[in-house]
Each structure stands twice: as structure tokens, then as C-alpha cells.
């Protein structure tokens, strides 16, 4: 059902979607015995092929605002970065990037609201080069995310998250969207990629080995070095142009 929900979200861009999906939707008829027949397997493969091979992804237009759809569930996080553009003289909202990952062992105990806030911080970090300095909307099905910017931090983790998203304040608007029409990010969070290094949305776990620091050398630099550097600036004709106003 999650697969059909995800595909249905982009159905306007998939030719003959209704024809391909007809046999799959019949599975959910209460009078029908669940069975993956050859016809249904072929229908699934046809839809999957179109999703993978059709040129659905857009190149970003930095003059236009972005839309970031996010969702979290008990097993993973998902996010889809969209943008509304004019394609062939028609308005078109399409995906630029879709990411997902499984949650880490330390995140299993998070409640639903906290998990959604985690998803916001994670997705902003992974899409930083798209979103920093750009105007964008965050679309979520959890109202708690809207209050993260203004809530009084109850612990250090929430405080770190609040600090992490301050750089986007002023350009970011958080919008609530009902879960039953939030299918793109919802499907990504339910069918996630493993949280492994080959996943572009990977986040290291605390249990992973870290590179040890074998030795730290501390050198006491005398004032003579700083004086030599200062005098060298005065002797350099290019640097002198910059430093001479400071000497006045």
C-alpha cells in the first residue's frame, strides 16, 4: 500500500498510471484473496520502471522557493525536496531529491513528536546546500514541528536542534499537512534505506569506531614571530595598501 501511495502521489507525471495500477488496487478488495499473480507482478514492475527511469527529477532554480516534505515513523525518516516550476508553459511541481534512512539504536526511544523534530533537523542538514539562503516551506503532518523554533528547550538535545535550525530562520516557513495526503514523505519514511555509509543520507552512530588522537603537541610561540609577521606585512607592497589605514 505504501508503494501505491508513493506512486499515486506522482501519478500526474506517470503515463497510464491507472491502467498499470488497476490490478494492484484490486488486492485491497475485501472479497479478493491476496495473491501476487504474474499480472500484478508485471504491473508493479511497470510502475517501478517508470518511477526509476522517467525524468521526474528537476534541476533547482535558485530564484524560486523550495518545498521540503518530511515525515518520520517508528522505523525511519524520509524527506522529499520539491520545487514548483514552469515546464512547457505549464505549472509543474516535481521532486529535486528524495532521501531516507533507518533510525539509529539511540533514536528508537524517541516519541512521535521528538522523532518528527529529528527528521526536520536531519533533512535540513542533508539539503543544506539547496536551502541555506533560499526561501522554502517545510511541509509536515506533525504540529509539534511548528513549535520547535519557539519552544523552551527542555534538554540539551532540543537546544542543539533549536540552534541548528536558527540559520534558516526568516527564510523557512513550517506548514501542516494532513497525513492522508502526505504520501511522498510518508512512503519514504516507511521504506527506508539502511543507515550505512553508501546511503547519501547516512548519519554515523556513536558505536562506530572513531579515529583516535595519538598525540597532541602544544608549542609556545614567542612574540618574536608575531612581530616578524607584522613587519613583513609592512614590507610587502600589496599588503601595505591594506594595512596602512589600520596604522593611522
Q: What is the pLDDT along the chain (248 residues), one digit of tens a residue?
A: 567 666 666 666 666 667 667 777 677 676 767 777 787 777 777 777 777 665 677 889 999 999 999 999 888 999 999 999 988 888 888 889 889 999 998 899 998 888 999 999 999 999 999 999 999 999 998 887 877 766 776 678 888 888 888 889 889 999 988 867 777 888 888 888 899 999 989 988 765 555 555 555 555 555 676 677 777 877 887 777 777 766 66
Q: What is the pLDDT of residue 147?
A: 76
Predicted confidence at residue 37, as pLDDT, reads 77
Q: Where are the domains of the chain?
A: 2-53, 66-190, 218-248
Listed residue (74, 143, 80, 128) closest to 102, CA to CA: 74
Q: What is the pTM of this model?
A: 0.70
Torsion angle in degrees (nearest 10) through CA of 234, 240, 246, 247: 40
CB 37 within 8 A of CB 10: no
pLDDT in the model for residue 25: 67
Kindly report the CATH class assigned to 66-190. Answer: alpha beta
Cα–Cα distance list, 243 to 57, 227, 229, 231 (Å): 50, 14, 12, 11
Amino acid at each position: 500500500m505504501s508503494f501505491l501511495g508513493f506512486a499515486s502521489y506522482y501519478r500526474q507525471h506517470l503515463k497510464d498510471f491507472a491502467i498499470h495500477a488497476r490490478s494492484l488496487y484490486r488486492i485491497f478488495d475485501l472479497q479478493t484473496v491476496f495473491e501476487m499473480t504474474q499480472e500484478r507482478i508485471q504491473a508493479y514492475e511497470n510502475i517501478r520502471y517508470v518511477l526509476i527511469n522517467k525524468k521526474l527529477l528537476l534541476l533547482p532554480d535558485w530564484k524560486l522557493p523550495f518545498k521540503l516534505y518530511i515525515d518520520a515513523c517508528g522505523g525511519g525518516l524520509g524527506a522529499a525536496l520539491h520545487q514548483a516550476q514552469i515546464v512547457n508553459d505549464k505549472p509543474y511541481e516535481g521532486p529535486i531529491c528524495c532521501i531516507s534512512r533507518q533510525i539509529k539504536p539511540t533514536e528508537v526511544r524517541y516519541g512521535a513528536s521528538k522523532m518528527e523534530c529529528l527528521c526536520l533537523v536531519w533533512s535540513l542538514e542533508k539539503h543544506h546546500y539547496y536551502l541555506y539562503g533560499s526561501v522554502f516551506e517545510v511541509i509536515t503532518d506533525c504540529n509539534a514541528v511548528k513549535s520547535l523554533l519557539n519552544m523552551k528547550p527542555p534538554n540539551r538535545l532540543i537546544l542543539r536542534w533549536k540552534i541548528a535550525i536558527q540559520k534558516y530562520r526568516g527564510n523557512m516557513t513550517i506548514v501542516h499537512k494532513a497525513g492522508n495526503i502526505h504520501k511522498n514523505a510518508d512512503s519514504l519514511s516507511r521504506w527506508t534505506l539502511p543507515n550505512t555509509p553508501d546511503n547519501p543520507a547516512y548519519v554515523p552512530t556513536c558505536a562506530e569506531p572513531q579515529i583516535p588522537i595519538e598525540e597532541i603537541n602544544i608549542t609556545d610561540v614567542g612574540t618574536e614571530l608575531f612581530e616578524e609577521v607584522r613587519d613583513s606585512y609592512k614590507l610587502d607592497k600589496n599588503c601595505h595598501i591594506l594595512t596602512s589605514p589600520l596604522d593611522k
